[in-house]
Chain A
Amino acid sequence: KQEVTQIPAALSVPEGENLVLNCSFTDSAIYNLQWFRQDPGKGLTSLLLIQSSQREQTSGRLNASLDKSSGRSTLYIAASQPGDSATYLCAVSGGYQKVTFGTGTKLQVIP
């Protein structure tokens, strides 16, 4: 059974700081890994998708890496802004079309 863990559960940083969010998974036989952002009471917004054959993806100030062999992914956010405050979730897609989410990291960027 795939298990996805995200550390830390919550993070508070001053505006402008670079930060790293971590995601680990127990079964390395994955199809892809996706990072999402969720604002309170809202749906999920896709940030980055990394296929199992890829090592990283970048979009603007965001960079996500994937190391399948160690079961880890990181989301790097450069020059954080108050608008980045949200919960960040990683999701691993495995066999039988099943997607497993982590419990998320709640990020607060303080102006």
Chain B
Amino acid sequence: ETGVTQSPTHLIKTRGQQVTLRCSSQSGHNTVSWYQQALGQGPQFIFQYYREEENGRGNFPPRFSGLQFPNYSSELNVNALELDDSALYLCASSFVGTGEKLFFGSGTQLSVL
């Protein structure tokens, strides 16, 4: 059984650029969610995907968007990067019907200069 993997592990971008982060769900999981964690804070829910559709979203602007693919891997896209977007981005997968226990990847550390 493979765990949740995220790529890249670290990324440096400049303000105004666009970024794509990737996540491979744990084998057998059909739901993926994304979180932003600023330094010293708890993770903030961005959105969740189930069966390739967004089915829940936190308080993030539309420049944060995502995709889920038929193999349940996922992407997080952020357009027009701002300095405050610097954070650890975490992906979690789960399987609907098992109490939705979340399994997290190790995250992507994004720095916006």
B28 is an interface residue with CB less than 8 A from chain A = no
A6 → chain B closest CB, angstroms: 8
Residues of A within 8 A of B92 (CB): 44
A99 is an interface residue with CB less than 8 A from chain B = yes
Contact A103 B42 (CB under 8 A): yes
Neighbour of B102 across the interface among A4, A46, A103, CB < 8 A: A46
Contact B42 A89 (CB under 8 A): yes
B48 nearest in chain A by CB position? A97
Neighbour of B99 across the interface among A36, A41, A42, A51, CB < 8 A: A51
Annotate A42-80 by CB proximity to B: 1 below 8 A, 0 otherwise: 111110010100000000000000000000000000000
Residues of B within 8 A of A102 (CB): 42
Can you identify 24 A-B contacts, CB atoms within 8 angstroms? A32-B99, A41-B109, A43-B104, A44-B92, A44-B102, A44-B104, A46-B103, A49-B101, A89-B42, A91-B42, A91-B102, A93-B100, A96-B55, A97-B48, A97-B50, A98-B45, A98-B56, A98-B58, A100-B45, A101-B44, A101-B45, A102-B42, A103-B42, A104-B42
A residues with a Cβ closer than 8 A to B are 4, 31-32, 34, 36, 41-46, 49, 51, 89, 91, 93, 96-104
Top 8 nearest A-B pairs (CB, nearest first) are: A97-B56, A101-B42, A44-B104, A43-B106, A43-B104, A103-B42, A49-B101, A97-B48
